[in-house]
Amino acid sequence: MSITRKGFLQVAGASLLALAGEKLVGSISSPEPGKPSRPTRWGMAVDFQKCRWDKGCDRCLDACRQAHNVPIIPDAKHEVKWVWKEREPNVFPQQSLLLPAAIQSQPVPVLCNHCAQPACTRVCPTEATWKREDGVVMMDWHRCIGCRYCMAACPYGARSFNWSDPHPYLAQSSADFPTRAKGVVEKCNLCEERLAQGERPACVEACAEKALVFGNLEDPESEVRRVLASRYSLQRRPELGTGPSIYYLI
């Protein structure tokens, strides 16, 4: 049996159409293989009713320092902060009327907000800090040139600059996590190295009162979403539109 020129072109054209159709259907229907179908945005709720900051509890701060080799520098101008205690009116300016008296008078624990629209990542000239798909505002200290634009951009003061070599100020030293060098900016990384191992952040694990609730903000079934649905919460400086992932339960 011989094939005509017309018949050949018909078969070839139909094959091409079928291939294109398959591609189109494939791209619409299934997400990329290996990627989780549910999006992740890590977030945290800090419960001021459970937190014993007023009793001088420093467990979350200590756990963070130990996990990440955060130096304790006595000079407040050179201080390096990942989780730290902040005093009103720097925590919730413009929302102070909503606050219980205890929060207005005592310094409360705060950390990097891992904003949905981070100001810091926009100004970094070397892409040393960026927003990950799972919501963590990540840093590459190798790439940081120490220009401190991100520090100027962050409205929460969550970033610290290493004015001097931090090594002499390391109280407990761990080889599991790298230290930093003079001239780079650092901040809370939401324990991304622990998230990669499927663990929760060190501060959350360390809190005996379970005042820190961690989870996926995109998952309505997660612990953090449940507690946010049931309690009244504040974000720091919501008027700026940065979309903090850290909530404070009043």
Strands 42-47 and 129-131: unpaired
Measured from the CB atom, the residue of 75 and 176 that comes closer to another protein is 176
Shortest CB 166 distance to another protein, Å: 10
Q: Is residue 180 part of the contact set for another protein (CB under 8 A)?
A: yes
Residues from 184 through 203 that contact another protein (CB under 8 A)? 192, 196
Binding string to another protein for residues 73 to 112, with x set by CB under 8 A, is what? ----------------------------------------
Q: How far is the CB of 171 from another protein (least distance, A)?
A: 10
What sign does the CA torsion over 216, 217, 221, 227 have?
Answer: positive
72 binds another protein (CB under 8 A): no
- 140 binds another protein per the rule CB under 8 A: yes
C-alpha to C-alpha distance for 67 and 201, rounded to whole angstroms: 10
SS3 247: strand
Asked if 173 interacts with another protein (CB under 8 A), we say yes
> Coil, strand, or helix at residue 22?
helix
- Judged by CB under 8 A, the residue of 50, 57, 79, 141 near another protein is 141
Tokens of 61: 């701060």
Interaction site with another protein (CB under 8 A): 132, 138, 140-142, 172-176, 178-181, 192, 196
